[in-house]
Structure 1
């Protein structure tokens, strides 16, 4: 006979509650264990639970989703604040080299993204080769134009771009700009607003993640996963 736990179904996503943003806003002002402990119930009920619901509702369409642990890894950081002041969801299991869709929520609003935030070194080489090659390079530019027409320009991600075109390639290369990139990603940012508290907020996530599919597909085909051991999202 099935147990109660086995029969339990995650309730459908019904929006990001105002308390989620209030919690993260407060954590940014007071990033301390005392704040966390005093507001742990808000974290469980107003942050973790609605994010879990969102993930459950999207996984059939976008595959397994992962969230980020709230504690920061401070071992090699000058900033010793113990907690992330944001909550995130991703379709990738890599921090560097990940290809997929991303969601980040902080006290100010929501950021949605898709593509590759930061290529691993072996991916950078393949990306530049694909941009240089006429057929795959033209296909990348076609994806860029299509997404730009939808208000979703493709950018270089989080890593600094090169000052000039890589050695061995002409400075006047027709695709000189992306040749200097170390990532390729669409980022859409939304300021905190009432619509985020409603069930329809999931439609915005779904719309953006679906729209960036051509970029992800291009990266999958011409760049692929990194051969380096994964650095998992933290």
Structure 2
């Protein structure tokens, strides 16, 4: 199937500039049609092209509008890999970011995550995956405890990972000229390949 995504053109940034700061309800009403056409619909096309290229993106959502300005200033989308495991995309004035995320987890998932991190075989694999992503320029973040859970020793070799109640690997791509071209599809697919080991680990050890 031929690709439909052509990129975000400069007019998309003009729309987002009007929404900077604390835009009034009147401004949001005025730009709504242009924002839908120039900002959101390209994201819809991008997700469709990604889904045709890789089944990992088939179960996806592209957010609409919220009541607060943040939802107008940021166009987000996500593809579900497993329960609470996702690929996320966000387009705003800073350009595009892509992330692999495990978040909004219940207590059972958090317990499974900690057990898998603590175990030498599975935990060392995750440690290597995270280190590799960090070396490739991903920001490793999430909801963190101040210290490792009390049932684990404070000097555990993966104490830093044990602190996570969510785990995200985020890549900021900026807003260079390629963002205005279909090249975005291939760049996102390449980032997904880099994220695949993390997402597979989370699916196998946490999401089940």
TM-score (norm 1): 0.78
Which of 58, 61, 64 aligns to 2:59? It is 64
What is the aligned partner in structure 1 of residue 42 from structure 2?
50
What is the aligned partner in structure 1 of residue 133 from structure 2?
147
The C-alpha deviation readout for 1:54-83, integer Å capped at 9, x for no partner, is: 1110113122211112123xxxxxxx5585
Query: Which is richer in strand?
Result: 2
Query: Which is richer in helix?
Result: 2
Distance 1:10 1:39, change over 3 A: farther
Q: What's the offset of the Cα at 1:150?
A: 3.0
Q: What's the offset of the Cα at 1:143?
A: 1.6
C-alpha separation in 2, matches of 1:118 and 1:15: 31
Indicate yes or no: 2:76 matched with 1:88: yes
Q: What's the offset of the Cα at 1:30?
A: 4.7
What is the aligned partner in structure 2 of residue 121 from structure 1?
107
Q: What is the total number of aligned residue pairs between the two structures?
A: 205
Q: What's the offset of the Cα at 1:93?
A: 9.1
C-alpha separation in 1, matches of 2:3 and 2:98: 23
Question: Which 5+ residue runs of structure 2 have no aligned equivalent?
Answer: none
Question: Which 5+ residue runs of structure 1 have no aligned equivalent?
Answer: 1-8, 73-79, 226-234
Distance 1:168 1:49, change over 3 A: closer
C-alpha separation in 2, matches of 1:93 and 1:174: 29
C-alpha separation in 1, matches of 2:151 and 2:3: 56
Structure of larger gyration radius: 1
Q: What's the offset of the Cα at 1:11?
A: 6.3
Q: What's the offset of the Cα at 1:39?
A: 1.8
